[in-house]
Amino acid sequence: MSGIQGSPFRVILLAATMVALLATSLFSADIKTLHKQAEAGDAESQFNIGVMYENGSGAKQDYAEAAKWHRKAAEQGHTLAQISLGTMYGEGKGVPQDYAEAIKWFRKAAKQGDAGAKYNLGVAYGAGVGVPQDYAEAVKWYRKAAEQGDAKAQNNLGAMYFKGEGVPRDFVQSYFWFSLAASSTSGDASKEASDARDQVAKYLTPEKLMEAQRMTSDWEKSHPRK
């Protein structure tokens, strides 16, 4: 049986790939122009400068400077800057390590609808990192992210239903969420979810298995991939 994907460190590292990808579009940017726009209060420019300093792309890597600019953008409500700042607090890069502060910024991004931030909160509550451990609260945030198509959240929600953590044990729901996770991702993550789904199937009667498969089919029809 697959365990929950995620750890206190994965909570913090979630945004790293996203930020690195964004950085590739900034190599040709004129940092002087960006600085001018950022100093004038443009949140997107502030975030972009933060990315440049964080990744050492177009500027010398400087985590403290990155955190400074991410904060400026985050305080204006820039979602990706909020996630980046939360990540830096979790890792202790450019700022003192502070899980509670990391959660604060992830929560702000989650309130703006970011699925990754919601997943982060689910992991935090499940592990008791920066917040008291609370499986029911973990399930709440996993569900919010899972319903937006986040495969990691779908996988973890499947595990929570299988174990009966934060929710009554329910193998139909567990099969359903593992199925969605398997089809929402690829590679090892997809195989892990598929294997977990197949293990859950052993606990289902033929009738319950058909019900779970029908739920999965109905979901996929009503939530076409973009």
Q: By C-alpha distance, which of 167, 156, 147, 77 is closest to 124?
A: 156
Is residue 120 located within the same domain as residue 222? no
- pTM, entire model: 0.84
Is residue 126 located within the same domain as residue 50? yes
Looking at the predicted structure, is the pLDDT value of residue 2 above 80? no
Secondary structure string (H, E, C) spanning 73-91: HHCCCCHHHHHHHHHHHHH
Is residue 10 located within the same domain as residue 41? yes
Looking at the predicted structure, is the pLDDT value of residue 206 above 90? yes
pLDDT reported for residue 71: 98
* Segment 11-50, tens digit of pLDDT: 433 444 344 434 444 444 477 888 899 999 999 999 999 9
- The tally of domains found in the chain comes to 2
On whether residue 140 sits in a domain, the answer given is no
* Segment 69-117, tens digit of pLDDT: 999 999 999 999 999 999 999 999 999 999 999 999 999 999 999 999 9
Pairwise CA distance, residues 136 & 170, whole Å: 15
Is residue 102 located within the same domain as residue 19? yes
Is residue 101 located within the same domain as residue 171? no
Which CATH number does the domain housing residue 60 bear?
1.25.40.10
Is residue 167 located within the same domain as residue 118? no
Is residue 54 located within the same domain as residue 119? yes
What range does the domain containing 197 cover? 150-226
Task: Report helix angle 79-91 to 115-127, nearest 10.
Answer: 30
Looking at the predicted structure, is the pLDDT value of residue 4 above 90? no
Pairwise CA distance, residues 134 & 107, whole Å: 16
